[in-house]
Amino acid sequence: MYEAVAFYLFSVLTIGLFLITVMSKNVLYAMTSLAAGMILISGFFFILGADFLGVVQLIVYVGAIMALYSFAMMFFDATRDIKEKNTNPALVFLLGGLSALVLVLMFAAPIHSEAIQALYPMHEGVGNAQDVGIVLFTKYLVPFELAAVMLLVAMIAGIILAGKKMDQSLTEDMSADDEILIQKDEK
Amino acid sequence: MIGLSHYLIVSALIFSIGLMGVLRRRNLLMLFFATEVMLNAVNIAFAAISHYYNDLTGQMFAFFIIAIAASEVAVGLGLLIVLYKKYGSLDLDDLASMKG
């Protein structure tokens, strides 16, 4: 009962928030609703019994990725509304709706599910974190180490790309600054 | 009772919202947001299948997807900052420099 209530609440809220993310013209609104939607998605993981995944989602997505986005937004002009030239919005909605229909049909269709056997079954009476740890450090050790190297490469790449010419101001010769100056003059 | 197909349908809906965003957006930062939405939708599907088939493989894949998303954001935002320094805009139409 509670699972059903939580599921429907989370799904309606997540879909609404992600619609705001996709439709909003303001970067700040889009980012905030994306962060809120990610928190609610970790709620899905907790319902599904994937506790460790839920915590990782909260720490990595909401904690790290959204913080990274908000730091990056300081480089861009976030207060101005984004003007986007949509050549054919009806076609986009048609394509999105069609792909939604195809995906729903694919998932709702009777799949070949009887043949699926659990490769690494979960154990009764063992916490999710222990189970995940044992499988991650035995069966998935090589992908885990590769992911670690990949994150290191990404970190170095991010530092080098973003840190280039860090001593120069980004907005020095931008028109946004001129607007602020004009506003000051008017006052 | 909530079954596997409920989760898969929600995941498909969120995925198509993200796909619609990718098709619709012309701003690179907003395009990144839409890809994040798609990655999260796939994670829900993986976690749901992992729960209903009592298998940990789905959760493992979700972990690696999260790791890939984190590194993608780090590199992508670095590139966005470089692009913004060079062109002063993140609009895809402004960045189309190879138009014939």
Q: What is the mean pLDDT of each run of 10 residues along chain B (100 residues)?
A: 85 89 86 93 92 88 92 90 82 74
pLDDT for the residue A37: 93
Identify the pLDDT of residue A13: 95
Quick one: pLDDT at residue A80?
Answer: 73
How much is the pLDDT for A149? 94
- pLDDT exceeding 70 applies to what percent of chain B? 98
**Residue A163: predicted pLDDT:** 78
pLDDT value for A129:
86
| The predicted structure's pLDDT at residue B94 | 77
Residue identified by tokens 């209903």 is B52
- Residue-range domain boundaries for chain A: 1-80, 140-187
**Interface contact B61, partner A, CB < 8 A:** no
What pLDDT does residue A8 have?
93
- Could you give the number of structural domains in chain B? 1
What phi and psi, each to the nearest 5 degrees, are found at residue A169?
-80, 140
pLDDT of B53: 85
Mark the ranges of chain A whose per-residue pLDDT is less than 50: none
CB B84 within 8 A of CB B61: no
Interface test with A, best of B5, B16, B46, B83 (most A CBs within 10 A): B16
By C-alpha distance, the chain B residue nearest A100 is B16
Classify burial at A75, counting beta carbons within 10 Å of its beta carbon; exposed 0-12, middle 13-18, buried 19 or more. Answer: middle
List of residues 6+ apart from B86 with CB closer than 8 A? none
Chain B residue closest to A147 (CA)? Answer: B67
**Assigned CATH topology for domain A1-80:** Four Helix Bundle (Hemerythrin (Met), subunit A) (1.20.120)
In this structure, is residue B99 part of a structural domain? no
Range of the domain at B15: 4-93
Q: Do B33 and A84 touch (CB under 8 A)?
A: no
Inspect the interface and report whether the beta carbons of A69 and B53 lie closer than 8 Å: no
Which residues in chain B are closer than 8 Å to A121, comparing Cβ atoms? 54-56
